[in-house]
């Protein structure tokens, strides 16, 4: 089985979904709270001065607790709103990995100054959903280098006092 999992509806994370779906036929997972952002991809494209990519149907609402079996691994959806309202992270327990979208980065967190962003909400999401994970979980952010939950819990300046 294959699946296309969208962490959030910013154009740099979803612009290729239609082509990927056409090529693979895999179902597309996205949290429904980002549907409005996705429906206005033309606005995001105009900010960046780029052509609006073709849109695809979202097949499955990626909600908290949703599990996707891919090969031997299970992907678990965590709702981590704040960067956008529909931002999700994907935990792969069998591989000790977390795909964090634009929620958590090495020494940083996702920006919250774009439409749908909420600076208190992203910190709540990280505190309640990501920091309780094991130290050795490898975090694969949407941009920049990999890190671990333990490192970010200890050293990320944005998470001090959480």
Catalog residues that contact Zn ion under the rule CB under 5 A.
10, 102
* Cα(87)–Cα(93) distance, integer angstroms: 19
CB of 102 to Zn ion, least distance (A): 4
Backbone angles phi, psi at 54, to 5 degrees: -65, 145
CB of 123 to Zn ion, least distance (A): 16
* Cα(81)–Cα(161) distance, integer angstroms: 20
- 24, containing H or E segment: helix 17-24
Q: Nearest-CB residue to Zn ion? A: 10
Q: Cα–chain-centroid distance for residue 59? A: 17
Which residues make Cβ contacts (< 8 Å) with residue 36, sequence separation at least 6?
none
Cβ nearer to Zn ion, comparing 10 with 21: 10
Cβ nearer to Zn ion, comparing 10 with 129: 10
CB of 134 to Zn ion, least distance (A): 26
Cβ nearer to Zn ion, comparing 34 with 102: 102
CB of 110 to Zn ion, least distance (A): 6
Cβ nearer to Zn ion, comparing 10 with 33: 10
């Amino acid at each position: 089985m294959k699946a296309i999992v969208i962490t959030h509806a910013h154009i740099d994370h979803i612009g290729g979904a239609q082509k990927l779906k056409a090529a693979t036929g895999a179902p597309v997972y996205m949290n429904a709270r980002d549907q409005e952002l996705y429906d206005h991809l033309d606005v995001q494209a105009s900010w960046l001065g780029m052509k609006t990519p073709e849109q695809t149907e979202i097949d499955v609402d990626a909600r908290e607790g949703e599990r996707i079996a891919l090969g031997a691994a299970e992907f678990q959806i965590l709702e981590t709103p704040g960067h956008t309202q529909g931002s999700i992270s994907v935990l792969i327990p069998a591989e000790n990995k977390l795909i964090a979208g634009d929620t958590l980065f090495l020494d940083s967190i996702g920006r919250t100054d774009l439409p749908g962003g909420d600076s208190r909400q992203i910190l709540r999401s990280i505190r309640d959903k990501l920091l309780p994970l094991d130290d050795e979980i490898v975090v694969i952010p949407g941009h920049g280098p990999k890190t671990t939950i333990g490192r970010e819990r200890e050293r990320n300046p944005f998470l001090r006092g959480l």
